[in-house]
Structure 1
Amino acid sequence: MTALAHPSRLPQLIKTGEGRLGAEQIYPRLFDAILEQRLPPGSALPEQALGNAFGVSRTVIRRVLGRLADQQVVVQRPSHTAHLAAPDPQQARQVLSARRLAETTLIGLATQRARPNQIRQLRQLVERERLHHERGERCTAIRLGGEFHLKLAQMANNAPLARFLNGLVPMTSLIIARYEAPCCEHCAWEEHAAIIDAVEDGDATSALRLMHQHLDRLEAKLDLDDAD
């Protein structure tokens, strides 16, 4: 079993970058550290230690942890130190099942309501995902792939469903980072690009088919049975 990160080691485990950072800059750095398992599942995340690591106040860290808690990546309880979620295979299957239900509804709405500027933003996001994938920066590519699905949900203009998915997609990124089979060659960015083409064309049937195929491949690359 991987040892949990000791608070004193957080500065070494997190790539803090240079200069004073805000919550929006800290969030992706902390999430990448989580996905790369430099911070193992179940690790405690003391606000003071994180603040010291990033050189910011506990108030800023509290905002970042609150966002991650909304996305179920971090578990917070009153009067307790926040800690990372550690989804087991059963929880992973439940998340993937719930996500499929939400995404297959949202993709149809997005196809009807997508605007040109939103399509352009999606393509830019997928281009960033491709670049990180080709550089071998796997976990950053995973995080950006999750952001693609959240942006797509926003295009559907259904706030309750988008909020629901916001609690599933980042958790899925955590599940992928933890359970993805070794030497997996699945290139999610290519499938994302194909989904954008279908959405831009207003082809709801193709968009739904591509989304199902994408989620099928996502689930197929996970070693959940071996983890059981």
Structure 2
Amino acid sequence: MNIAHKTPANLDANQEDRAQAIRDSLRDAIVDRRLTPGTKLSEAEVGTLFDVSRTVVRYALQMLAFEGLVRTERNRGAFVSIPTPEEARQIFASRRLIEPGIVAAAVERITPDDIGAFRKQLDEEVRFMNERGPVARRAEIKASGDFHLMLAAVAGNGILQRFMDELVARSSLVVALYGRSGVSSCGHNEHSAILDALANKDVARASDLMLHHIDHIEADLDLRVKEGLALRDALSS
């Protein structure tokens, strides 16, 4: 995972907050697949959209670069990262190593209130699945990723939770580039089965189901590149 980065000395606290807000907006647009791999992130355009200086924008893009979601090229600028097939395999290999451990820790800590929160999350997934249109589709994908992040939170390991935050974001980027439309989001039924195993304190079954689930997501990838929205449209959606 990425090493921590330092705030530029020439930014004050307000500018740092603005940079963080820009980072969050761009990150959400990337993870929700409104900005697809390869999209140019013009410092001037982002600065105009958020009414900030290029220095603030540059720091926001630097944060995203540390997360692997943006790449910067000398004399060309910043772009949404384009993960290679090998990087995609490494991302899912990392998830296979980490998520069974998260499941095992979550089984030990999960409470009836947690189970209830997960059930509500699954209801949200169903609601978005039953709606049509790109906005509902993006919301469904986000809700699917949130299931995995909730598991990491229940596991109670802050370091693993940060790792999962990055892995889920980068998985979304991979799905944006290689995913089959309507197929590659996490399966609701698989989430439900994992939750049932967690509620029954069945670590082995929950871990096996999680591995099968990750295999299923990766197996649904192909090499077709999808077209996304322009930067202004993506941030206003």
Does the pair score TM above 0.5?
yes
CA distance in 1, matches of 2:63, 2:125: 22
- State the SS of the aligned residue for 2:196: helix
Which structure 2 residue ranges, 5 or more long, are not aligned? Answer: 1-18, 226-237
Equivalent position of 2:174 in the other structure: 175
Correspondent of 2:119 among 95, 118, 123: 123
> What letter corresponds to residue 103 of structure 2 in structure 1?
I
Q: CA deviation at 1:158?
A: 1.9
Show the counterpart of 1:133: 129
The verdict on how the C-alpha distance between 1:120 and 1:220 changes in structure 2, with shifts beyond 3 A counting, is: same
Match of 1:49 in 2: 45
**Partners in 1 of 2:172 and 2:105 — Cα distance?**
23
Which residue does the alignment assign to 2:102?
106
Q: Aligned to 2:159, what secondary structure does the other structure show? A: helix
Q: How far did residue 84 of structure 1 move?
A: 1.0
Q: Number of residues paired by the alignment? A: 204
Give 1:56 shift. Answer: 5.6
TM-score by length of 1: 0.71
Q: Which aligned pairs between 1:33-44 and structure 2 lie closer than 5 A?
A: 33-34=29-30, 38-44=34-40
SS in 2 for 1:87: coil
Distance (Å, rounded) in 2 between the aligned partners of 1:56 and 1:126: 38
Please give the secondary structure, in 1, of the residue aligned with 2:40: coil
Assess, with a 3 A threshold, how the Cα gap between structure 1 residues 26 and 73 changes in structure 2: closer, same or farther: closer
TM-score (norm 2): 0.69
Matched-pair contact (CA < 8 Å) for 1:179–1:222: yes
- Structure 2 counterpart of 1:192: 191
Corresponding residue of 1:18: none
Which position in structure 2 is the counterpart of 1:213?
A: 212
Do the aligned partners of 1:114 and 1:155 also contact (CA within 8 Å) in 2?
Answer: yes
Q: Which amino acid aligns with 1:43?
A: T
Structure 1, unaligned runs of 5 or more: 1-21
The 3-state SS of whatever aligns with 2:41 is coil
Q: Counterpart in 1 of 2:147? A: 148
| Percent identity between the two aligned chains | 35
SS in 2 for 1:215: helix
CA distance in 2, matches of 1:210, 1:70: 31
- Checking the alignment, whether the CA contact within 8 Å between 1:71 and 1:166 is kept in structure 2 is no
Q: Deviations over 1:77-104 (max 9, x none)?
A: 8998543111011110111111110111
Is this contact kept in 2: 1:72–1:170, CA < 8 A?
no
Distance 2:196 2:217 in 1: 20
Which AA in structure 2 matches 1:147? D
The answer to whether residue 74 in structure 2 is matched with residue 75 in structure 1 is no
Deviation by residue 1:48-96 (Cα, 9 ceiling, x = unmatched) = 523543x564698678656644542233689985431110111101111
Distance 1:186 1:84, change over 3 A: closer
Q: CA RMSD in A?
A: 3.5
Moved more, 179-188 or 86-95: 179-188
1:100 is paired with a residue whose SS is helix
